[in-house]
Structure 1
């Protein structure tokens, strides 16, 4: 078990995801932990830490509102990761100010 109650790591993280997915009726294999954490890192560095949970919510909402399949998840994660990497650039396609 992790010593920091706010930072599940390794096995604890996998157990947490499996338990919460089951409780929510979500197939645990649909959760790509590494990709979601990669997205969180990109958003934290490219946009800001407060944007991480909001982006995670948006990703889940977008996938759930669509087909909900693995391909939809991949498209949403790719789109959000690309947007986070270019946030603040002059590219109007990112939605940056």
Structure 2
């Protein structure tokens, strides 16, 4: 098992969830897209919003794809504090 597997198993146990239903790659891919295309702090917020949507019955892959598409189409208006330029 990897550290991620161990973390997901422990977090799921803490929250009473089944780790088999956790789409780690889907969440990580979404977080990457939001962090790179919108802004870094948006990544955990997007992951949270994905979780809320899934908790309300949305399909995880479909909801993540919709958010990733939104991130990829996001206007490059937010300055990147690391690079000091417009994104």
Shorter-normalised TM range = 0.7 to 0.9
CA RMSD of aligned residues (A): 1.6
Moved over 6 A (4+): none
| Structure of higher RCO (CA pairs closer than 8 Å, 6+ residues apart) | 2
Aligned: 1:17 with 2:8: yes
Alignment partners' CA distance in 1, 2:23 and 2:72? 20
Question: What TM-score comes out, normalization by structure 2 length?
Answer: 0.79
Question: What TM-score comes out, normalization by structure 1 length?
Answer: 0.71
The number of residue pairs the alignment matches comes to: 76
Name structure 2 gaps, 5 residues minimum.
77-87
Name structure 1 gaps, 5 residues minimum.
1-9, 90-97
Alignment deviations for residues 55-81 of structure 1 (CA, whole Å, 9 cap, x no partner)? 1110000110226xxxx1111111111
